C-alpha cells in the first residue's frame, strides 16, 4: 500500500497477440489485446495505446491511443475499426521519462527503409542522453521525451551488416542491445510477425502464452495443434482472462519471433562475462499482480515467504496480525502462519476514493489516506496489533493509519515491513522519489517508530528478501529452455546502491 501512496510508479505494461493458422482469422485480436491490457492496468494508468495489422505485405496498420485507463481510452467504436486485423501490440503507460501527454503514448509507429514498424517498450534506458545525441547526429528528429521513441528510431537505423534490400531485424535488435544494455522489454511488430525482446540483464519481465479453446484451458492434454493464437505480456496474470495458457518466459537477452506459424527463439545476446541477471526484485515485492508467475514461481507465494521470513527475523509480542490492504496481505498471512498469531482485518478500504499519489502535497495526501480507510474496531479494540506493510517510503501514509487504529482502540501498533528500506533512486524504469525524500535517508529514520507513532518498526533484511525470492527458483527444464541456479540474479540497487551496470549521464 505504501508504494501506491508514495509517488513510486509501476513503470509500464506491454502486450501483444498473433492469431495462429489461416488469415484472415476468426480470432478477435483487438478484443484480446484490450482484455490483456486491462489485466496489466496496475502497471500504468496514465495512457493506453494499441496498434493492429492485417499482416499483409505491405501491411495496413490501425492505431488508437487515449489518456487514462484502458476502458476509458478504448471506446467500442474505436475497437470496432480494429476487429478484422490478425496481429497487434498494445501498451499501458506510467511515465518514468517524458511528460504526461498523448504524444508520448505508445506504441510508436515509424517508417523504415523496409516498411513500417510498431514498438512498445517497458523500462528506461540508462544511457538515453548519449543515444539521443547519436540519433540526432544521423539527422533524425525526436518529437517526444520518451525513451521508447528513441528505441524506435534506433531500430529504424540500418545496421552495418544488413544487406540493402533485405531487412534483418535480428541484426537491428542486436545492434540496439549493443548500444544499451538495459532496461527494456520490447515488442516490435513488422509485417506479419512480432518480435519479443528482453534486455540481457532481464531487468523487466516478459512472458509468452498460448491461446487455446476454452474447453482445453484447464486441461493438461492440449497440445500446440490446439493453439488459436500466441500472446506475449509483461505479466502472465493477463493470460487467464483471454483464454491463454502460460507457455514460458522470454529469457534475458533473448529475441523471440511470434507468428501465425508459432514461437521461435532467434537469438540470445549474452551479458558481459561474469555479470549475473538483474531482474527487478520489487516486481515480487509490490509491482506485479499476485497471480503472476516469474521464474517459475507465483508472486503471491513469494510474498508469503517474505512474511514468514519477516516473522523469523522480527518476532513481536502481540495479539493479532493484520495488513494495510491489499498488496501486503500475502506477507501478513505468512507472518501470521510463522508466528502462530491469528490474522484479522483491521482496516476497511474504500475502493472508490482513487489513488492518492496523484494528490500534489503532503496535507492532501494525508487527507486522502484518512478518506481511504475505515477502522474495523470490533476486531482489535484492546489488542496489540502487528501491522504488515510493503514499505515505508516517505512515512506520510502509515502515520495517520497508526493514529486511526490507536484512536479506534488498539493498545499497541507494531509495524513490520515486508521489504528492506529503500535508500536509492531507480534509473531503470521505476519512478522512485529523490534520495532526499526517502525516509530511510532522513534524520527521522533513527527513531522512525517515534516519528510515525508506532510502538516499534522492523524491516525485512536484504538477505532475507533475496532468500525468500530465490528459495522457489529451482533448476528445471521449461519448454526445452534450461533455467538454472547459475542464471539467477536480482537487481537490489534501490536498497544497496549497487546498480547492475555502470550508469551514464
Instruction: Of 379, 295, 395, 294, give the one whose Cα is nearest residue 344.
Output: 379
Q: Collapse the DSSP code of 16 into the 3-class scheme (helix H, G, I; strand E, B; otherwise coil) and give the result.
A: strand
Is 70's pLDDT higher than 50? Answer: yes
Q: Where are the domains of the chain?
A: 13-275, 297-463
Say which residue, 117 or 156, is predicted with more confidence: 117
Is 31's pLDDT higher than 90? Answer: yes
Question: Which H helix or E strand runs over 484?
Answer: none
Name the grid cell of 19.
492469431
Is 481's pLDDT higher than 70? Answer: no
Phi-psi region of 360 (alpha: psi -120 to 50; beta: other; left: phi over 0): alpha
Name the grid cell of 449.
517508530
Question: Which H helix or E strand runs over 282?
Answer: helix 282-282
Q: Is 12 a catalytic residue?
A: yes
Query: How far, rounded to the nearest angstrom, does the alpha carbon of residue 239 sit from its chain's CA centroid?
Result: 15
Indicate the CATH number for domain 297-463: 3.40.50.2020
Where is the binding site for [4Fe-4S] cluster, in residues? 280, 426, 491, 494
Is there a contact between 355 and 368 (Cβ–Cβ < 8 Å)? no
Of residues 12, 90, 207, 306, which has the active-site annotation? 12
Say which residue, 156 or 246, is predicted with more confidence: 246
13-275 topology per CATH: 3.60.20
Is 95's pLDDT higher than 80? Answer: no
Instruction: Render pLDDT for 284-300 as a digit per residue (tens, 0 to 9).
Output: 998 999 999 999 999 99
Which range has the worst mean pLDDT, 6-15, 209-218, 412-421, 478-487?
478-487
Name the grid cell of 278.
538483474
pLDDT-derived band at 478 (thresholds 50, 70, 90) equals very low
Is 173's pLDDT higher than 70? Answer: yes
Question: Which H helix or E strand runs over 35?
Answer: helix 29-38
Is 304's pLDDT higher than 70? Answer: yes
Is 358's pLDDT higher than 70? Answer: no
Mean pLDDT of 411-428: 95
Where is the binding site for Mg(2+), in residues? 327, 389-390
Name the grid cell of 469.
525470492
pLDDT of residue 146: 82
DSSP state of 275: P
pLDDT of residue 485: 39
pLDDT of residue 140: 83
Identify the top-confidence range among 42-46, 140-144, 378-382. 378-382
Mean pLDDT of 9-19: 86
Where is the binding site, in residues? 280, 327, 389-390, 426, 491, 494
Percentage of the chain beyond pLDDT 90 is 65
Amino acid at each position: 500500500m505504501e508504494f501506491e501512496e508514495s509517488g513510486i510508479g509501476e513503470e509500464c505494461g506491454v502486450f501483444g497477440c498473433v492469431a495462429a493458422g489461416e488469415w484472415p482469422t476468426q480470432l478477435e485480436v483487438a478484443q484480446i489485446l484490450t482484455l490483456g491490457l486491462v489485466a496489466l492496468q496496475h502497471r500504468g494508468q496514465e495512457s493506453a495505446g494499441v496498434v493492429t495489422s492485417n499482416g499483409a505485405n505491405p501491411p495496413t496498420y490501425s492505431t488508437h491511443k487515449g489518456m487514462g485507463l484502458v476502458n476509458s481510452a478504448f471506446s467500442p467504436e474505436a475497437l470496432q475499426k480494429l476487429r478484422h486485423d490478425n496481429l497487434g501490440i498494445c501498451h499501458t503507460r506510467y511515465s518514468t521519462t517524458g511528460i504526461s501527454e498523448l504524444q508520448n503514448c505508445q506504441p510508436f509507429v515509424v517508417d523504415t527503409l523496409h516498411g513500417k514498424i510498431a514498438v512498445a517498450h517497458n523500462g528506461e534506458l540508462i544511457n538515453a542522453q548519449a543515444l539521443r545525441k547519436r540519433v540526432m547526429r544521423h539527422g533524425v528528429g525526436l518529437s517526444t521525451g520518451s525513451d521508447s521513441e528513441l528505441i524506435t528510431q534506433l531500430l529504424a537505423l540500418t545496421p552495418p551488416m544488413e544487406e540493402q534490400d533485405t531487412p534483418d531485424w535480428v541484426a537491428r535488435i542486436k545492434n540496439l542491445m549493443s548500444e544499451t544494455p538495459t532496461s527494456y522489454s520490447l515488442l516490435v511488430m513488422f509485417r506479419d510477425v512480432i518480435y519479443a525482446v528482453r534486455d540481457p540483464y532481464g531487468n523487466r519481465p516478459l512472458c509468452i502464452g498460448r491461446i487455446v479453446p476454452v474447453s482445453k484451458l484447464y486441461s493438461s492434454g492440449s497440445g500446440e495443434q490446439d493453439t488459436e493464437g500466441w500472446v506475449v505480456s509483461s505479466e502472465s496474470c493477463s493470460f487467464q482472462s483471454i483464454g491463454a495458457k502460460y507457455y514460458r518466459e522470454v529469457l534475458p537477452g533473448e529475441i523471440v519471433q511470434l507468428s501465425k506459424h508459432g514461437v521461435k527463439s532467434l537469438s540470445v545476446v549474452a551479458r558481459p562475462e561474469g555479470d549475473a541477471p538483474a531482474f527487478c526484485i520489487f516486481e515480487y515485492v509490490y509491482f506485479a499482480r499476485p497471480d503472476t508467475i516469474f521464474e517459475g514461481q507465483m508472486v503471491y507465494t513469494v510474498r508469503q515467504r517474505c512474511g514468514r521470513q519477516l516473522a523469523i527475523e522480527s518476532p513481536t509480542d502481540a495479539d493479532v496480525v493484520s495488513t494495510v490492504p491489499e498488496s501486503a496481505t500475502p506477507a501478513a498471512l505468512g507472518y501470521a502462519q510463522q508466528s502462530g498469531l491469528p490474522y484479522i482485518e483491521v482496516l476497511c478500504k474504500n475502493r472508490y476514493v482513487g489513488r492518492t499519489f496523484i494528490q500534489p502535497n503532503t496535507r492532501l495526501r494525508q487527507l486522502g489516506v484518512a478518506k481511504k480507510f475505515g477502522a474495523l474496531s470490533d476486531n482489535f479494540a484492546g489488542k496489540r496489533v502487528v501491522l504488515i506493510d510493503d514499505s515505508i517510503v516517505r512515512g506520510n501514509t502509515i502515520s495517520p493509519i497508526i493514529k486511526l487504529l490507536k484512536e479506534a482502540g488498539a493498545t499497541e501498533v507494531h509495524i513490520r515491513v515486508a521489504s528492506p528500506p529503500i535508500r536509492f533512486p531507480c534509473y531503470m524504469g521505476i519512478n522512485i522519489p529523490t534520495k532526499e525524500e526517502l525516509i530511510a535517508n532522513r534524520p527521522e529514520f533513527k527513531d522512525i517508530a517515534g516519528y510515525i507513532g508506532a510502538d516499534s518498526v522492523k524491516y525485512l533484511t536484504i538477505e532475507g528478501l533475496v532468500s525468500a525470492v530465490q528459495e522457489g527458483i529451482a533448476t528445471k527444464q521449461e519448454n526445452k529452455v534450461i533455467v538454472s541456479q547459475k542464471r539467477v540474479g536480482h537487481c537490489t540497487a534501490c536498497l544497496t546502491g549497487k546498480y547492475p551496470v555502470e550508469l551514464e549521464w
